[in-house]
Structure 1
Amino acid sequence: MKTRLTLLLLLFVTTVTIGQNKQDKFKISKGTWLLEGDFSINSSNFKITDNPTPNKADRFNFRISPKLGYAVNDNLVLGLGLEYSYSENQYENLYNQEDSSNTYSIAPYIKKFFPITSRFAFHLQGETAFSYSKTNNYDGAGNRVASNGTRSYGISLRPGINYSLSKGVLLEMNFGALSYSHSSQKNDENSSKYVTNNFGFNLSSSSLILGVSILL
């Protein structure tokens, strides 16, 4: 269903393109600043009720990610994204364990816009991301029993489309990515180390990301 919606959206953009004046095209002028931001907060819980042993979990997640870009040429933007996220899990079972993690990320990027109409544009965004995450595990008495640090980096190429809501507001939709990532996790207690490499190509509509940019 989501794939069909994406295809219909692309078909709509193509249809609108045919009826547009070729001289009237989407443009982000050189010298323009672009301010973006993502924010999310979520809490959830689950409980097993048909078990004599209590089993319940409460989860909380928080994420904020501001981005600032600058048009070094018409429709060509260089920028930098920062991100911080926090997550916490509490378990009510035989051990009453708890874990929490903090993640910090930085991601420089380059984005090229390809005009379709006066309001629509296709874009490709290439970025490199570096992040560090620290996870602590606690027992029922609040004592830390384990700690893991994870360092990772990755590169990706993301396609997307844009719609100009007004002169200073841009609606953006990214779908899928061609990406590679590498992560290294180390356990502080026993010095165990785990390394993961991942390569992926995904154009599925299940990975849609919506955002809004303010042009300054």
Structure 2
Amino acid sequence: MKKLLLITAMTVFSFAHAQKGTILVLGNVGYYSEKRSDSGSSSTQKTFNFSPKVGYQYNDNWTVGVESSIANSKQTYTIGEVKSNNFSVGGFVRYMKPIGGIFSAYADLGTGYQSSDITQINGGMDPFLFESKGSGFYVGVTPALFVNINKGFGLNFNLGSIGYSTLNYSNARSDTQNFNFSFGQAFSIGISKNF
């Protein structure tokens, strides 16, 4: 019985992290919808985002790859709407360490290019159309926990990140520089598979 438990534990541990020479495919998908109705006015907001990653694990702990993100948002008000389209593409490096059983801890360092396109339409007494386009870069570190479900297929859980990003706009809209520290304030679940 002890031998069977030892063999089972070793088998589970061997699948708990990806092996050297494998391809890692993962991503997050998100959707948010909200409707508000106040006295005489109403608003709706819908947001969708998709963030895929593909990497190559060149040894038992290190993975290098490419990442991207697409996010679309639309806010509709009684007299107008605001649409936002955001895109980013870059690279990432991951260090993963098994912590026992089916669990591994990892941290991703990602950096790359990002762009934003915002359109505002006002249909009230003084109608106008305003469009703003910006581009910049981002860099961030995201620690997370990987739970292996079966043969390299698993779930990724993170509780926040730390990052810095810039967006420089081509018109009168103010340029932005953003520092983000969200440990304990954000939560996301992703799916990954090693081939």
Q: Please report the TM-score for the alignment, with normalisation by the length of structure 2.
A: 0.83
- Where does residue 20 of structure 2 map in the other structure? 30
TM-fit CA distance, 1:57: 0.9
- Where does residue 45 of structure 1 map in the other structure? 35
Q: Does the aligned pair in 1 maintain the 2:33–2:46 contact within 8 Å? A: yes
Cα distance in structure 2, aligned partners of 1:137 and 1:42: 20
Q: 1:194 aligns with which of 161, 171, 174?
A: 174
* Cα gap change, 1:99 to 1:196, in 2 (>3 Å): closer
Residues 171-197 of structure 1: per-residue CA shift (max 9 Å, x gap) = 21122223222222343xxxx252232
Q: Note if 1:215 corresponds to 2:188.
A: no
- Where does residue 5 of structure 2 map in the other structure? none
- Where does residue 107 of structure 2 map in the other structure? 124
TM-fit CA distance, 1:77: 0.9
State the AA in 1 paired with 2:160. Answer: G
- Where does residue 67 of structure 1 map in the other structure? 53
Structure 1, unmatched stretches of 5+, are 1-19
State the percentage of identical aligned residues: 24
Cα distance in structure 2, aligned partners of 1:136 and 1:211: 30
Task: Give 3-state SS (helix, strand or coil) of 1:207's partner.
Answer: coil
- Where does residue 109 of structure 1 map in the other structure? 92
* Cα gap change, 1:70 to 1:144, in 2 (>3 Å): farther
TM-fit CA distance, 1:58: 1.7
Q: Does the aligned pair in 1 maintain the 2:114–2:138 contact within 8 Å? A: no
Structure 2, unmatched stretches of 5+, are 1-8
Q: Where in structure 2 are the equivalents of 1:51-200 lying within 5 Å?
A: 54-92=40-78, 96-140=79-123, 145-187=129-171, 192-200=172-180
State the AA in 2 paired with 1:215. Answer: N
Cα distance in structure 1, aligned partners of 2:57 and 2:107: 14
Q: Does the aligned pair in 2 maintain the 1:162–1:171 contact within 8 Å? A: yes
Q: Does the aligned pair in 1 maintain the 2:33–2:45 contact within 8 Å? A: yes
Cα distance in structure 2, aligned partners of 1:88 and 1:117: 44
Task: Give 3-state SS (helix, strand or coil) of 1:73's partner.
Answer: coil
